[in-house]
Amino acid sequence: MGCRDVHAATVLAFLSGTASVAGLLAAVLLPNWRQMRLYTFNKNERNVTVYTGLWIKCARFDGSRDCVIYDPQWYTAVDQLDLRVLQFALPLSMLTAASALFLCLIGMCNTAFVSTVPNLKLAKCLVNSAGCHLVAGLLFLLACAICLTPSIWVIFYNNYLNRKYEPVFSFDISVFIAIASAGGLFFTSVLLFLWYCACKSLPSPFWQPLYSHAPSMHSYASQPYSARSRLSAIEIDIPVVTHAS
């Protein structure tokens, strides 16, 4: 495949990255990272489930969707280490992934609208499409690591809380959304790396602009056989000097 064309791999990578960032945003905003279910033995009362998010906490009775206790200032008094780490890790992962999306978009736009080099002196100043996709892939991979590590830690920390207190804690849907979004970021980075490896020639350096030579060298073509045959058919007359005896 040629690097000077927009391929389905780069478009799919951009869409996958966008969906992953949207998933991270949903995981950050949803108050469903951990549930704490409180049981009562009083027949006149109902069980209570406390939904803990990164920013708010909500307590509901069974069968009700209204919050009996709603704490919008929960983010300032988080007493669980894994959620406190996620408050910093997930926004950082979103910012890194958004930067990668911006670079990926720049690379696609440059590939689509800049097909020739107007001036050889400006070739080194042009945006490198392959370089944009390569850096975007690295940023997507970094965002995946930042998001995935604390999200998986929530599962182990939940088991720790059940052993330390009572088995009333369970992780909620936001954990699965964050892990799935991290998988989407990893898939996006793999697509961009595959595109880069398929487009770049193997003998070239690891970081090389698309236009590493003059446009005339890119468009160089050998002369047709007819022209070469005419050139080879030129006869050179060599005078022969004879000496009379």
Q: Is residue 85 part of a domain?
A: yes
Question: Is the predicted pLDDT of residue 229 greater than 80, yes or no?
Answer: no
Q: Is residue 71 part of a domain?
A: no
pTM: 0.72
Q: Is residue 158 part of a domain?
A: yes
Considering only residues 212 and 77, tell me which one the structure prediction assigns the higher pLDDT. 77
Number of domains in the chain: 1
Q: Is residue 47 part of a domain?
A: no
Query: Each residue of 101-152: pLDDT tens digit?
Result: 998 888 777 766 655 544 444 444 455 677 788 889 999 999 999 999 999 9
DSSP notation for 11-68: HHHHHHHHHHHHHHHHHHH-S-SEEEEE----TTS--EEEEE-SS-EEEEETT--S-S
CA atoms within 13 A on the CB side of 222: 4
Q: How far apart are CA 99 and CA 109, in angstroms?
A: 15
Question: Is the predicted pLDDT of residue 226 greater than 70, yes or no?
Answer: no
pLDDT band at 5 (very low <50, low <70, confident <90, very high): low
Considering only residues 206 and 153, tell me which one the structure prediction assigns the higher pLDDT. 153
Q: Which domain holds residue 184?
A: 8-32+78-114+125-199
CATH of the domain at 146: 1.20.140
Q: What is the overall mean pLDDT for the chain?
A: 75
CA angle in degrees (0–180, nearest 5) for 171-177-182: 115
Question: Is the predicted pLDDT of residue 171 greater than 90, yes or no?
Answer: no
Q: What is the mean pLDDT of residues 46-59?
A: 85
Q: Is residue 54 part of a domain?
A: no
